[in-house]
Amino acid sequence: MIARILLAAGALIFLVLGTMHLAYTFFSDKFLPRDQGIKEGMEKTNPVLTRRTTMWNAWIGFNASHSSGAMFIGGINLIMAVSYFDIYGQSPGLQLLNILTAFFYLFLARRYWFNIPFRGVLLATICFTASSLILFFYP
């Protein structure tokens, strides 16, 4: 039972962080640069890869896709915890993929983000890892 609760707790953290990130991307000024000139420059500049977009549109798209990825991780893990925990518990591959994904987000949070998402992802990673360790040692 505790392994299921830990999986759900980690899932909820990812779901909340991803949803907040999506809301900040489209409905707030939280991700706007403090220097208005930077935004204007991004709106006028294309990446080397293509002229079909601007750095600003890419910035918004990257933030939105990042949000949806975190929401997907949270959502799928919540579904697994609530409805398919037996399958999750019997799938070391799925558990490993989950933990590796969480650790990758943790790396990103530590390297590129700030304290609040780092702490949230750290807590979720601990929850996912502890859940799997419990399932491994007490199947």
What average pLDDT does this structure show over 48-63?
A: 97
pLDDT digits (tens, 9 = 90+) for 117-135: 999 999 999 999 999 999 9
Q: Which pTM does this prediction carry?
A: 0.94
- Domain edges within the chain: 2-137
User: What integer best gives the mean pLDDT of the chain?
Assistant: 97
Judge whether 99 and 53 are in contact, CB under 8 Å.
no
* Helix spans in 28-52 (H): 36-44
pLDDT at 139 over 90: no
pLDDT digits (tens, 9 = 90+) for 61-106: 999 999 999 999 999 999 999 999 999 999 999 999 999 999 999 9
The pLDDT score that the predictor gives to residue 27 is 98
The pLDDT score that the predictor gives to residue 23 is 98
Name the 3-class secondary structure at 98. Answer: helix
